A and B are shown apart, each in its own frame.
Chain A
Amino acid sequence: MSFFGFGQTADIDIILSGSDTRKLAEIKTEDGKKEKHYLYYDGESVSGKVNITLKKPGMKLEHQGIKIEFIGQIELYYDRGNHHEFTSLVKELVRPGELAQNTSYNFDFVNVEKPYESYTGSNVRLRYFLRVTIVRRLSDIVKESDIIVHTLASYPEMNSSIKMEVGIEDCLHIEFEYNKSKYHLKDVIVGKIYFLLVRIKIKHMEIAIIKRETTGSGPNTFNENETIAKYEIMDGAPVRGESIPIRLFLAGYDLTPTMKDINKKFSVRYYLNLVLVDEEERRYFKQQEIVLWRKGEKTRKPIQQPQSVPPENK
């Protein structure tokens, strides 16, 4: 912001190194659109260069210092004023002085810890970004550049199946089974429903994946449920002894890994909701939590810091 068009101003460009080999990932923005940014993992260095282009040729740019920051922060939509920075690194690019021409500065944040995955939700957002600031007396010139972070995990040691008998006494008894309790994002849920007692008139049965985003704590806890998928698995009235198979491919749905109590600010959990609907549209349901995790891809290039490396794809 310069008064009456006087004074020099500048454009800032942040260029990440290794961008020709680095993958892009997609993430939703607050208004639902999809954005692509470079994908980083925990422990990787974030380096590159900052190009400063003077807008008015011939004029010098006076400044009180130019710095670059690497920030990881959580924004709660209902509390916009307070950004919770869980990671904040800063590097001074140049001391106060003046720029006479377009200049380029290198930066290297070495082995940066990125403990959480980037997430855009209904009431909360977790993002990582680089911010370059040209400090000036009246108004700073600022440029931000987002990156996306994925957290990887490997096949859990313990992954027992979920098997339960539920029902309404004397009316409806079912036994349901899902082959695992922890699924990766491209996994398939294999299961079955076994009918032990059917004294109601069932019209159909469906299974849904529900995402529950929890923000706040204590009396200010807010849960937001979103139905990510709904899939009919049975049409018609079953009788005792019938088994209905379930096969639900997760890759087709917009899912994130399960996130528990991220920086004590929010959680994202997933549930399978089994719903039976009778002829009078009454709904009988059983919700069961599943844990989702992100599997590393085979072709991922090695990183500096040691981390559990996922085994080869079976």
Chain B
Amino acid sequence: MATEEKPPQDATRRLQPKKQTLDDAYAVPANFLEIDVLNPITHGVARKRYTDYEVRMRTNLPVFKMKELSVRRRYSDFEWLRNELERDSKIVVPALPGKAWIRQLPFRGDEGIFDEEFIEERKKGLEMFINKVAGHPLAQNERCLHMFLQDPVIDRNYVPGKIRNS
């Protein structure tokens, strides 16, 4: 099939793109953010038991001061973060895995909230939650998120506020 080489029509010619440098094309993406929730450990004995999780963040986002950090957090810390974000930020905060009231009742056949399978399910839910939240550009402005991810201990008497200039 013979084809004629016609110059592209002006009206439908592609707009001239800027050339991408090889550095930009093959650099590490600027959106790297990974948060893992792992190593659940149950502390204490009998009635005073509680479980906490390692929250390990790896990122290259400049908004986070530390690029790699681990802290330990328990379920109530996640609840605290969710409440702070609900109140202060304009985002629709995703749901946490359940509170499991029924599991906390006595006379259960299993370990209740310290049951291995339950902890595993809860761990996955917490990981989904924190990744969704930490990736949100508006949540990244909130001091509570940074304290949750990067301070060794959460100071519940902190002054809520924004990190970035609006």
Residue pair A314, B11 in contact (C-beta under 8 Å)? yes
Residue pair A278, B17 in contact (C-beta under 8 Å)? no
Q: Tell me if A168 counts as interface (CB < 8 A to partner B).
A: yes
Which residues on B sit within 8 Å (CB–CB) of A243?
Answer: 17-18, 20
Q: Tell me if B31 counts as interface (CB < 8 A to partner A).
A: yes
Residue pair B31, A199 in contact (C-beta under 8 Å)? yes
Residue pair A201, B14 in contact (C-beta under 8 Å)? no
Q: For residue A200, which residue of chain B has the nearest CB?
A: B31
Mark B98-124 against chain A: 1 for CB-CB distance below 8 A, else 0.
000000000000000000000000000
Min CB–CB distance A164 → chain B (angstroms): 14
Q: For residue B166, which residue of chain A has the nearest CB?
A: A169
Min CB–CB distance A268 → chain B (angstroms): 25
Mark A186-216 against chain B: 1 for CB-CB distance below 8 A, else 0.
0010111010011111100000000000000
Q: How large is the interface on B (under 10, 10 to 19, 20 to 34, 35 or more residues)?
A: 20 to 34
Residue pair B31, A237 in contact (C-beta under 8 Å)? yes
Distance A190 CA – B31 CA, assembled complex (angstroms): 29
Which B residues, 26 to 69, have Cβ-Cβ distances below 8 Å to chain A?
Answer: 27, 29-31, 33, 61-63
Q: Tell me if A245 counts as interface (CB < 8 A to partner B).
A: yes
Min CB–CB distance B161 → chain A (angstroms): 17
Q: Tell me if A20 counts as interface (CB < 8 A to partner B).
A: no
Which A residues, 245 to 288, have Cβ-Cβ distances below 8 Å to chain B?
Answer: 245, 247, 278-280, 282
- Knowing A190-B14, A192-B17, the reply to whether A170 touches B164 (Cβ < 8 A) is yes
Min CB–CB distance A186 → chain B (angstroms): 11
Residue pair A199, B61 in contact (C-beta under 8 Å)? yes
Q: Tell me if B21 counts as interface (CB < 8 A to partner A).
A: yes
Q: Tell me if B15 counts as interface (CB < 8 A to partner A).
A: yes
Residue pair B31, A241 in contact (C-beta under 8 Å)? no
Q: Tell me if B76 counts as interface (CB < 8 A to partner A).
A: no
Min CB–CB distance A288 → chain B (angstroms): 15
* Chain A: interface residue total (CB-CB under 8 A): 31
Residue pair B136, A169 in contact (C-beta under 8 Å)? no
Residue pair B20, A242 in contact (C-beta under 8 Å)? yes
Residue pair A192, B15 in contact (C-beta under 8 Å)? yes
Q: Tell me if A177 counts as interface (CB < 8 A to partner B).
A: yes
Secondary structure class of chain B's binding surface, majority of residues:
loop
Min CB–CB distance B120 → chain A (angstroms): 23
Which residues on B sit within 8 Å (CB–CB) of A188?
Answer: 11-12
Mark A226-246 against chain B: 1 for CB-CB distance below 8 A, else 0.
000000000001011111010
Q: Tell me if B6 counts as interface (CB < 8 A to partner A).
A: no
Which residues on A sit within 8 Å (CB–CB) of B136?
Answer: 280, 282
Which one of B12, B20, B31, B33 has the highest number of Cβ atoms from chain A below 10 Å of its Cβ? B31
- Knowing A170-B164, A199-B61, the reply to whether A177 touches B15 (Cβ < 8 A) is yes
Q: For residue B27, which residue of chain A has the nearest CB?
A: A239
Min CB–CB distance B14 → chain A (angstroms): 6
Q: Tell me if B4 counts as interface (CB < 8 A to partner A).
A: no
Q: Tell me if A179 counts as interface (CB < 8 A to partner B).
A: yes
> What would be 23 A-B contacts, judged by CB atoms less than 8 Å apart?
A170-B164, A179-B15, A191-B15, A194-B17, A194-B18, A197-B30, A198-B31, A199-B61, A199-B62, A200-B137, A201-B31, A201-B33, A202-B31, A239-B27, A239-B30, A241-B18, A243-B18, A245-B14, A245-B15, A247-B14, A279-B135, A280-B135, A282-B136
Which residues on A are within 8 Å of B, measured CB to CB? 168-172, 177, 179, 188, 190-192, 194, 197-202, 237, 239-243, 245, 247, 278-280, 282, 314
Q: Which 6 pairs from chain A and chain B are nearest by CB?
A: A243-B17, A241-B20, A241-B24, A171-B137, A240-B24, A192-B15
14 additional contacts, CB 8 Å, given A241-B20, A242-B20?
Answer: A170-B63, A171-B140, A177-B15, A191-B15, A194-B17, A200-B135, A201-B33, A237-B31, A239-B27, A241-B21, A242-B25, A243-B18, A243-B20, A247-B14
